[in-house]
Chain A
Amino acid sequence: MSALLVSLLIVLGSALVLVACVGVLRLPDLYTRMHASTKPATLGVSLVVAGLAVHTAELGIAVRAGLIVLFLLLTAPVAAHRLGSAAYRAGVPRWSGTVRDDLADARPPDAP
């Protein structure tokens, strides 16, 4: 029963990470790729780590597993925000199908 649950978590998590990487490869511009890289990758790694915690059922390992998840949840949005704002200011082009740019008149594109 436990092995089945662990297997399910592991396969689901790995599949999500694979989806994230395929999204990074296939989507049309940087901003949509960032959408693909942050959310599914974080959830996928979290699922695999949860599988590990269920598998070992040891306190020390579960704490470290929880630390990995907590750290991912804290850092993934920060890194994505830094990268996104830096790329926008550096003038990375947007996909032709983009319908909205809220920053267009908020600040000139070449401001530091």
Chain B
Amino acid sequence: MTDPILDTAVRLGLSMLALAIVAGFVRLARGPSLADRILALDVISATIVAASVLYAVGTGLAVFIDVALAIALVAFLGTVTLARSLERGGEE
């Protein structure tokens, strides 16, 4: 990856995703309900998927695409399982 425009774009994108993860973590810490925290984890994992793909573009390492796919799979299962436990009355 030698193109200066693409290099700038990847850096800019990764910076925005870092800010996004910070915003997600603030919501994760604040709550107020358990559902809000599950939602924050879900959106953080989506951000990590995007960051992983962006890192694959930046470094040219194709492995990170598989990482993104695996994180997307696990995050879906995690969200659904947590929502299920919330449904069964596990508030806090």
| Total interface residues in chain A, CB < 8 Å | 51
* Chain A 32-55 near chain B by CB (<8 Å), digits 1 or 0: 011001000110110011011001
Q: Interface size bucket, B side?
A: 35 or more
> Roughly how many angstroms separate A79 CA and B38 CA in the complex, as a whole number?
10
A79-B24 contact given A10-B13, A48-B54, CB 8 Å threshold = no
Leading 3 A-B pairs by shortest Cβ distance:
A7-B9, A14-B13, A21-B20
A4-B5 contact given A64-B69, A82-B80, CB 8 Å threshold = yes
* Chain B 11-36 near chain A by CB (<8 Å), digits 1 or 0: 01110110111011011000001111
From DSSP, what is the main secondary structure of chain B's interface residues? Answer: helix
A24-B72 contact given A6-B57, A52-B53, CB 8 Å threshold = no
CB distance from A29 to the nearest CB of B (A): 9
Q: Which of B35, B46, B49, B50 has the most CB of A within 10 A?
A: B50
> Roughly how many angstroms separate A24 CA and B86 CA in the complex, as a whole number?
19
Residues of B in contact with A (beta carbons under 8 Å apart): 3, 5-6, 8-10, 12-14, 16-17, 19-21, 23-24, 26-27, 33-36, 38-40, 42-44, 46-47, 49-50, 53-54, 56-57, 62, 65-66, 68-69, 72-73, 76, 79-80, 82-84, 86-87, 89, 91
A82–B83 contact, CB under 8 A?
yes
From DSSP, what is the main secondary structure of chain A's interface residues? Answer: helix
CB distance from A81 to the nearest CB of B (A): 9
A86–B27 contact, CB under 8 A?
no
